[in-house]
Structure 1
Amino acid sequence: MPEYLTICEAAELLKVTKQTLRNWDKQGKLKPHRHPLNNYRLYKKSDMVKLLNKIEKK
């Protein structure tokens, strides 16, 4: 099973706020997975690392 991050962990890794991640989700920039029981947003760690690399290159 892939390693997932919560919205708090993903925001901390990317150095953005949780609200920024929620906005990116609404805009279609990110596609979070959802926890099957509580419907919380979950992000693949590998996807977040790729995004972080793109952000840092700018």
Structure 2
Amino acid sequence: MIFGMPWWVFMVILFIFFSGYMAFRAMRAERALEKQYIEREGQVYMKRIEEEREQRRQEQKEVTN
């Protein structure tokens, strides 16, 4: 007996806390992965917009010449 409880009850309580900690850790890791993915997709989108702008500038230069 530990703290007046059978040892297996103490172990169940420990496993509950451990499970909660692991779930929290997994949630944080997944949030970080999502953030990286969103950042990467945003960079691709901004690059595409910049290429489109550059293409329009080139077309305007050709039209004015």
Structure number with the higher helix fraction is 2
Q: TM-score, normalised by structure 1?
A: 0.29
Q: TM-score, normalised by structure 2?
A: 0.26
Greater RCO between the two (CA within 8 Å, min separation 6)? 1
Structure number with the higher strand fraction is 1
